[in-house]
Structure 1
Amino acid sequence: MEQPFERQAHVVCKIHSNGDHEYWVDGTLLDLGDSLRHVHHSPTGFRHGYGGSGPGQLAFAICLALYQDVVVAKTVYMKFKWTYVQYWPIDEGFDHLVQVPVDPVRLWNLTDDYQHRLEFAQWQEEQRVLLAEEAEEESRRWPEGLDPSLLLSKPVEERPLSKRDQLMLALAPYFVDFEFSLPSRPAKGLCRLLVVPELALVICSEHPQNPSMSVTNAAEYLFLQITEAYNLDRDEVTWIEHYAFENERVAPEFDFVEFHQLGGGAYRPDWHNPTDELIPLLEKALYHKKGLVA
């Protein structure tokens, strides 16, 4: 008998009086701590209804619950976020039956980007298992209370790099720190920024020492301040949001962000999956920064 193409998943969100969000998939409560063992977007909790870090954490947890496979979940969860999670009504509880693919990797096609995600997820899981085994072995040799993970001497191999990531490494010296202000917050935020005025291109990257709101949550404020600082035409800007995640060993993320004018000088951001234009844009940015374009 041929395997069905899709199946229904029962996804429930309950919001408590204190604002806590609780999510269930097919009758099982999602555990934030379990999902954070594999991806580290939002240690403060799951969320839905927009394209930020909380929805990313939720999408991974849902995919892990649905497919019971860390590698598959890591490969497809960002697609799941953009397909489903960002559209669920923000700050509202819900009880949905969602049509999900039985074989998401095959359904969503392994483009170069997804192939790289799959390879990275496989490598990442192998490294996690390796480190866990080493930690367990070391724990037998050291006094109780000493963290054996601090004593591991075996080097961890470098993660595989896609062409996209190689281009970002080449562009890294051209990024600058950019301070941004936020209403009702005394502390300024900090991001890493690459602007190519000739292309009307902005790559806004989360700074590891950012003391304030993330570049996702502060997107509309960053858009106004950066376009003003660099005298960019707001109707022409191509905006790429980037998370490196070097410390968490999570695959780097790229999102295209479109800003829609609402009136009164305000803009609403919408996040989209990277398209085939990403690598050519990065190549053009590198050519311009190296002075190879007249």
Structure 2
Amino acid sequence: MSYLKIDIKRLITSKMVLVVVLILLSIAIVDPLTVFRYFSKHVNLAESIGQNPFQFWMLMNSVSWGNNLYNIMFWIFAGLLTGLIYYDDKNSSMYLYSIIRKTKIKYLISKILSVGLLSFVLLLLVLEINVFVTYVIFNDGSVTTDSYNRLAPHVGHFAYKAYLSSPFKMVQIYTFLNAIAISIFVVFSLCINMLFNFSNRYVALLIPIISLYGFNFIFDSYPVLFKYNIRMILQPRAASAITTIITWNDVFIVFGSWILLNIILIFIVFFKARDCYE
């Protein structure tokens, strides 16, 4: 069996990854159901706000508990989805056994591909489940209210043309961007573990998460950086709530910069791997 198949199987059965899956599925399914239940008890409020599904998918509905929990734990998910499989290998006989069987470079590539691909597919599926559940239970897409209209992206925003064409296209753009982003940050977390070879399991988990929170804090602290803040890019409510206009060029710059950072980290990891028994 190839390294990649083994690593994906290990990730799928990892307790840490399973916890993330459970939390994400709970948010994706229960959040729209609780919102629907609330409005079923407050009919007048439902009529005033509207029942268009575009208003209540988890990424857009910024007042829901699911949206808040997802955004609070976003960086934590990036650490947990590594499954700490590299740490576990490095602190057991599995590491030496694996690189003796083939090469350390193939071993490292497998780790990077497995966590990147699995995290992308996982979040994409979960967010699509949320969209499906939301569009099934909130099925009145014909009526628009002032509350609905306030969600429209500003003119010039990267999601504006998609919204004009079909709000559902905007939903899919943000779903895809969030899945790509979590994949990037999971690979970042793995690279940090590969570079520093932490001896303590909790340190190996927390340092990448703290680093990501640190990056986010810097971008949150300076309004001039808002258009380059990936968390602003990933939240559809920001498209109408903030005055900063984020364009597709900004999106490509931000995602490209994070990908470039990962490539640099991977290059350093490979450079350190010249000695296959290091």
TM-score class normalised by the smaller sequence = under 0.3
State the TM-score, normalized to the length of structure 2.
0.27
State the TM-score, normalized to the length of structure 1.
0.26
Of Structure 1 and Structure 2, which has the larger fraction of its residues in helix? Answer: 2
Of Structure 1 and Structure 2, which has the larger fraction of its residues in strand? Answer: 1
